[in-house]
Amino acid sequence: MENSSNHTNYLNATKGIWSWLTTVDHKRIGMMYLGFIIFSFMLGGFFAICVRLELFTPNGDLFKDGNQYNTFFTLHGIVMVFLFIIPSIPAAIGNFVLPQMVGALDVAFPRLNLLSFYIYLVGATLALAVLISGGVDTGWTFYTPYSSSIGGPVIATGLAVFILGFSSILTGLNFIVTIHKLRLPGITWFNMPLFLWGMYATSVIQVLATPVIGITMVLLVFERVAGVGIFDASMGGDPVLYQHFFWFYSHPAVYIMILPAMAIISELVATFSQKRIFGYKAIAYSSVAIALFSFLVWGHHMFTSGQSRFAALVFSFLTFFVAVPSAIKVFNWVATMYKGSISLKTPMMYALSFLSLFTIGGLTGLFLGTLATDIHLHDTYFVVAHFHYVMFGGTVIAFIGGLHYWWPKFTGKMFNEFWGQVGAWGVFIGFNLTFMPQFLAGFRGMPRRYYEYDPSFEIFNQLSTIGALTLAVSFTIVGINLLVSIFKGAKAPKNPWNSLSIEWQTESPPVTENYATTPDLTYGPYDYDKRQAARAEG
Partner 1 sequence: MAQTKYLAHHFTDLEQQSESAKMGMWLFLLTEILLFGGVFVAYAIYRAWHPETFINAHRFLDVRLGTINTIVLIVSSLTIALAIRDMQLDRRKQCMRNLIITILLAGVFLVIKYFEYSHKFHVGMLPGKFYTFDGIEGTNPHIFFSIYFLLTGIHGLHIIIGMSLIAWMLLKVKKGHFSSNYFVPIEAVGLYWHLVDLIWIFLFPLLYLIG
In contact, 76 and 83? CB cutoff 8 Å: no
Kindly tell me which of 108 and 357 has the beta carbon lying closer to partner 1.
108
Collect all residues with Cβ–Cβ distance below 8 Å to 538 and sequence separation of at least 6.
none
In DSSP notation, 250-312 reads HHHHHHHHHHHHHHHHHHHHHHHHTSPPTTHHHHHHHHHHHHHHGGG-GGGG-TTTT--HHHH
Name the 3-class secondary structure at 104. Answer: coil
State how far the Cα of 172 lies from the Cα of 178, in Å rounded to an integer.
10
In contact, 414 and 489? CB cutoff 8 Å: yes
CB of 211 to partner 1, least distance (A): 4
Kindly tell me which of 238 and 379 has the beta carbon lying closer to partner 1.
238
Kindly tell me which of 103 and 198 has the beta carbon lying closer to partner 1.
103
CB of 232 to partner 1, least distance (A): 8
In contact, 280 and 529? CB cutoff 8 Å: no
Kindly tell me which of 167 and 353 has the beta carbon lying closer to partner 1.
167
Name the 3-class secondary structure at 236. Answer: coil
Query: What dihedral angle (degrees, nearest 10) is formed by the CA atoms of 154, 158, 164, 170?
Result: -170
Kindly tell me which of 169 and 257 has the beta carbon lying closer to partner 1.
169
CA angle in degrees (0–180, nearest 5) for 128-90-122: 25
CB of 167 to partner 1, least distance (A): 13
Of 510, 528, 516, 515, nearest to 28 by C-alpha is 510
In DSSP notation, 370-388 reads SHHHHHHHTTBHHHHHHHH
CB of 27 to partner 1, least distance (A): 13
CB of 70 to partner 1, least distance (A): 27
State how far the Cα of 40 lies from the Cα of 44, in Å rounded to an integer.
6
Kindly tell me which of 452 and 513 has the beta carbon lying closer to partner 1.
513
Kindly tell me which of 233 and 344 has the beta carbon lying closer to partner 1.
233
Residue type, 273: S
State how far the Cα of 253 lies from the Cα of 301, in Å rounded to an integer.
13
Kindly tell me which of 178 and 416 has the beta carbon lying closer to partner 1.
178
Q: How many residues are recorded in the chain?
A: 538
Phi/psi at 139 (5° precision): 80, 165
CB of 388 to partner 1, least distance (A): 29
- Interface residues with partner 1 (CB under 8 A)? 104-110, 112, 169, 173-174, 176-177, 180-182, 207-212, 214-216, 218-219, 222-223, 226-230, 232, 235-238, 241, 245, 513
CB of 420 to partner 1, least distance (A): 34
Phi/psi at 79 (5° precision): -65, -45
In DSSP notation, 8-55 reads --TTTSS-SHHHHHT---HHHHHHHHHHHHHHHHHHHHHHHHHHHHHT
Kindly tell me which of 228 and 463 has the beta carbon lying closer to partner 1.
228
CB of 204 to partner 1, least distance (A): 9
CB of 209 to partner 1, least distance (A): 8
Question: Could you give the count of Cα atoms lying within 13 Å of 90 in the half-sphere of its Cβ?
Answer: 36
Kindly tell me which of 72 and 96 has the beta carbon lying closer to partner 1.
96
CB of 21 to partner 1, least distance (A): 20
CB of 113 to partner 1, least distance (A): 11
Beta bridge partners of 514: 511
Kindly tell me which of 465 and 512 has the beta carbon lying closer to partner 1.
512
